[in-house]
Structure 1
Amino acid sequence: MLEALGDNPYFSAGFGLAGIGLGITMLRKGLQGSLVLAKRNLLRTLEVTSKDPSYPWVLQWITEQGSKTQHVTVQTKSIQLANGRFSTEFSYSPCPGRHFIRYKGNWLSVERIREKQMLDLTNGVPFETVTFTAIGKDLKLFENFLYEAKLRAESLNEGKTVIYTSWGTEWRPFGLPRLKRNIKSVILQDGLAEKIMDDIHDFLTNTNWYRTRGIPYRRGYLLYGPPGSGKTSFITAVAGELDYNICILNLSQRGLTDDSLIQSLSTVPHQSIVLLEDIDVAFMKRDAASVAKGFVTGVTFSGLLNALDGVASSEQRLVFMTTNHIDRLDPALIRPGRVDMKCYLGDADANQMVRMFNRFFPDSGELANTFVKNVTSAKKNVSMAALQGYLMCYKNEPEMAVKNANEI
């Protein structure tokens, strides 16, 4: 055959080689097409980007599978123990690249890609994607492990309050989750805590009432009073009572604008309280000079008002504001619709002193009343923070706490 092909003038001219080359090319194209067709019909792919809310859950799920891969990256966490000391823990997750993980009898191809030239401008972290590939057409496998990752993430935060801070237009956890604070651990004026909680529960359980009457479904609270009266502590306790998280919004944050403020308030994580602390510091009461300048921070005063109660403002929102000087706030900021309930938290009264003393010394009997008399006889205003700090110095000596009450 080779001799016959060698004597063939067409083959000698190269047509034979061209035909072989064409055949090989067509075969290669056919194999590539078959491979693409097989991927489309036999494989299913799921891509999760670092912008998606489920990304932290997926990373945590991958971290738990880290021991099943050969190339891992370390994540170091410091956890505060009950005695105040810190314990260091190391966890591992698959490093950028392709890995294979077996999940419920199915093999998953996990490809983690970290973009080197694309950064998240809000925090400088490289943009990432995680792509999962499995055999078959059914997406149930992906739904199962996504739901499992979500439940796992929620279980890690069970009994805790997650604190979020804004990064550009995103909300990201700040530090480690904190143990929930009992609402009874914050001692306010008699009946005040119950009044606020009743109003919150009424708001949360009457969604349809707001909608049928065309009233925006949002509620605002202003806690004002001297420093140390328990404003922030009470908000933390409210979050624990409702099983909510807290989103701290810093109006003095660099780069925060009117548009990004509105965007942040419209993307608040579900079941979260928005907290604006010391609102008077960011926006003092307007006068001619402040109106002329227009800006106190990167956010204008009108921008804040529109974000709280404007056309572009979001609903299903629970907002708490705190201030030590309500007289410095512009009336437009705290009018009904933006602030629906104003509550004064003052210095400790006699009832609060008795309750605080009994909390430290449950079996003190009449010592609590004697303690109140000694404190009030000095004719000094005592904040709840100062009272608590003083009692901690005598946490095992109630008699000495009563005797030296003038030290507060």
Structure 2
Amino acid sequence: MAMGVGLTVLRQGVVFGTTALRRRMLVSLEINNKDRSYEWFLPWMAQQTAKASHAGPRSAPWTRSHQLSVETTVEQRKNGSSSIFFKLVAGPGIHYFKYRGAWMQVKRERETRSMQLMSGVPWETVTLTTLSRDRKLFPELLAEARDMAMKGHEGKLVIHTAWGTEWKPFGQPRRKRPLQSVVLEPGKAETIENDIKAFLERRQWYADRGIPYRRGYLLYGPPGSGKTSFIQALAGSLSYDICLLNLSERGLGDDKLNHLLSNAPERSFVLIEDVDAAFNKRVQTSEDGYQSSVTFSGFLNALDGVASGEERIIFMTTNHVERLDPALIRPGRVDMAELIDDATPLQARELFARFYGGVEGVTGLSNAEVKNLSDDLEKMVQEEMIVGKRVSMAALQGLFIRSDAREALTSCRDLFVTRRTPL
């Protein structure tokens, strides 16, 4: 009996001693899948494991993981085509690796009994454990994972779309479009760019005067004039992302709209395209007749109401500015409205020169010949404008892409259409 009691006491002592030793000598870091670093750490861990596998067992600081999960990304395009990408990451379970001379344990746990309400994704947690003396390595590891994730987006534009009440990246990051590649009427691009830069530099000025720190822009004009292209190029120029908001999305209500606008990702433009089509007599309807729960008053309150968020930039586009309710485009909701019109003679000339000019011999024309053809196109646009006919920049660009210089000039007249004078 005495021996049994002694063994029991010894066992409990070992358990308590081990627990105390773990508390004193070990430190753990928990990362759940609601945190941004969760998306950074798993790909970083997968990449380090892959490097270790290629380097061979002697030089590999990582142990090879036998529990993997696949993350599939599908990029669906409007023309029906799609691209599918696979990414292998560490699966649920326990993994070990060595980072900068310190061994760490990674435990990935998945809660299958409860799911995230909007996305249906199970809650997950990754726990990193190492010796207490090596706790300083956690920030360095996370910074390395962050830099690896950001490097993939360097020099690219990220498009976000609304997923329930959250913003999620849509598809792969896109290459930034140079701002000068969008040919607008002389001075138009500079006016908008200077205004937004002045806004970004006056945060404290707004705070000192108690003015909500937000800015709204409306770009209006005929289809194909370059409104959306300019916004994308401007976002890339300022290293901003774009949050694409569809007011006709099913399930989008006033409360969700307000939440989305108040929680847009940092350094991003909120883009609302074809805002004139969203509301018909202040009632929102979609093309198939579905009536959404977003009300016109709710939309206005989300833009500048008491509960509306700050530190945001909203761009709206429309092809029919005359259809917009005056309450929507009043100052405070739309701080700058700019007409992005059809091609002017100077715009057509510059676009032509960009397509066919440059180094002699590349297009089979000398620079002098390109200049003469540009002059002819400029005169043609002037003549057509006198009789009330216009051509969009998108139509000219489509023609220049598939035709040589002389053929393009000959076919240009077929693109002109009679357009009502814009307001």
Which range, TM-score by smaller chain? 0.7 to 0.9
State the Cα distance separating 1:137 from its structure 2 match. 5.3
Matches within 5 A, 1:201-216: 201-216=197-212
Q: What is the CA-CA distance between 1:91 and the residue it aligns to? A: 4.4
**Structure 2 unaligned blocks of 5 or more:** 51-63, 76-80, 358-366, 416-423
Decide which of 297, 300, 305 is 1:305's aligned counterpart: 300
Corresponding residue SS for 1:54: helix
Within the alignment, does 1:381 sit opposite 2:390 as a pair? Answer: yes
- Residue identity matched to 2:371: G
Are 2:399 and 1:403 aligned?
Answer: no
Relative to 1, partners in 2 of residues 1:345 and 1:56: Cα closer, same or farther, differing over 3 Å? Answer: same
* 1:241 alignment partner, one of 231, 237, 240: 237
- Rounded to whole Å, the distance in 1 between the matches of 2:73 and 2:258 is 33
Q: How many Å apart are 1:62 and its aligned residue? A: 1.8
Q: Name the counterpart of 2:349.
A: 354
Answer yes or no: is 1:391 the counterpart of 2:400.
yes
Alpha-carbon separation, structure 2, partners of 1:137 and 1:169: 41
Within 2, Cα distance between the matches of 1:88 and 1:261?
30
Match of residue 55 from structure 2: none
List per-residue Cα deviations over 1:134-191 (Å, max 9, x = no partner): 1115642111111111111111111100111111121111000000010011111110
> In 1, Cα distance between the equivalents of 2:218 and 2:135?
47
Q: 2:329 aligns with which of 334, 353, 363?
A: 334
**1:272, distance to aligned residue in structure 2 (A):** 0.9
Alignment check: 8 A CA contact 1:65 1:93 kept:
no
Matches of 1:38 and 1:274 in 2, distance apart?
52
| Residue 32 (structure 2) aligned to one of 49, 52, 68 | 49
Aligned partner of 2:183 in structure 1 is: 187
Q: Give the residue type in structure 2 aligned to 1:36.
A: T
Question: Structure 1 stretch 306-315 or stretch 189-198: which is displaced more?
Answer: 306-315
2:74·2:82 contact (CA, 8 Å) conserved in 1?
yes
**CA distance, structure 1, for counterparts of residue 408 and residue 44 of structure 2:** 51
RMSD: 2.5
Distance 2:5 2:305 in 1: 68
Taking the aligned partners of 1:29 and 1:312, their CA distance within structure 2 comes to 57
Work out whether 1:73 is the aligned partner of 2:56. Answer: no
- Does the 8 Å CA contact 1:181/1:240 hold for their aligned counterparts? yes
CA 86–277 in structure 1, closer or farther in 2 if over 3 Å, else same = closer
1:62 alignment partner, one of 30, 39, 45: 45
Instruction: Return 375-384 or 152-161, whichever deviates more.
Output: 375-384
Give yes or no for contact 2:42–2:90 (8 Å, CA) kept in 1: no
Kindly state the Cα deviation for residue 309 of structure 1 after the two structures are TM-superposed: 0.8
Distance in 1, Cα, partners of 2:305 & 2:85? 46
Q: Return the alpha-carbon distance in structure 1 between the equivalents of residues 269 and 168 of structure 2.
A: 14
Superposed displacement of residue 89, structure 1:
6.9
Counterpart CA distance in 2 for 1:268 and 1:39 is 42
**2:243 aligns to what SS in structure 1?**
strand
The aligned counterpart of 1:10 is none
CA contact (8 A) 1:284 1:329 kept: no
SS at match of 1:275: strand
Select between 341-350 and 37-46 the one with higher mean Cα deviation.
37-46
Distance 2:49 2:249 in 1: 37
| Large movers: runs of 4+ above 6 Å | 85-89
- C-alpha distance in structure 1 between counterparts of 2:3 and 2:297, whole Å: 75
**Contact 1:163/1:246 (CA < 8 Å) preserved in 2?**
yes
Corresponding residue of 2:363: none
CA contact (8 A) 1:66 1:94 kept: no
SS at match of 1:73: strand
User: Does structure 2 conserve the Cα–Cα contact (< 8 Å) formed by 1:284 and 1:330?
Assistant: no
CA distance in 2 between partners of 1:206 and 1:160 (Å): 26
CA distance in 2, matches of 1:374, 1:198: 32
TM-score normalized by the length of structure 2: 0.83
Q: Distance in 2 between matches of 1:72 and 1:278?
A: 44
Secondary structure of 1:30's partner? helix
Partner-residue secondary structure (3-state), 1:123: coil
Residue number among 372, 396, 403 corresponding to 2:378 in the alignment: 372
Render the CA deviation track for 1:37-93: whole Å, top value 9, x for unaligned. 2222211111111111222111221221233423223456789xxxxx999876432
* Structure with larger Rg: 1
- Residue 239 of structure 1 aligns with an amino acid whose one-letter code is A
Letter in 1 for 2:27: R
Counterpart-to-counterpart distance in 2, 1:26 and 1:247? 63
Distance in 2 of aligned mates of 1:359 and 1:142: 51
Q: Which of the numbers 196, 201, 205 marks the counterpart of 1:200?
A: 196
- How many Å apart are 1:29 and its aligned residue? 3.2
Q: Using the alignment, how far apart are the partners of 2:74 and 2:309 within structure 1?
A: 36
**d(CA) in 1 for partners of 2:23 and 2:298?**
49
Q: Distance in 2 between matches of 1:89 and 1:205?
A: 39
Residue 105 in structure 1 maps to residue 101 in structure 2: yes
How far apart are 1:356 and its partner, in Å? 1.0
Moved more, 185-194 or 121-130: 121-130
Question: How far does residue 24 in structure 1 lie from its aligned partner after superposition?
Answer: 4.1
Answering whether residue 115 of structure 2 is matched by residue 119 of structure 1, we say yes
Tell me if the contact between 1:69 and 1:101 (Cα under 8 Å) persists in the aligned partners.
no
Give the percent of matched residue pairs that are identical in Structure 1 and Structure 2.
Answer: 50
Q: 1:22 to 1:336 in 2, by over 3 A?
A: farther
TM normalised by structure 1 equals 0.86
SS in 1 for 2:292: coil
Kindly tell me the number of residue pairs found equivalent between the two proteins: 380
Aligned counterpart in structure 2 of residue 344 of structure 1, from 339, 343, 348: 339
- Equivalent pair of 1:282/1:296 in contact (CA under 8 Å): no
Range with bigger deviation, 363-372 or 152-161: 363-372
Distance 1:326 1:27, change over 3 A: farther
Q: In structure 1, what residue type is equivalent to 2:411?
A: N
SS in structure 1 at match of 2:280: coil
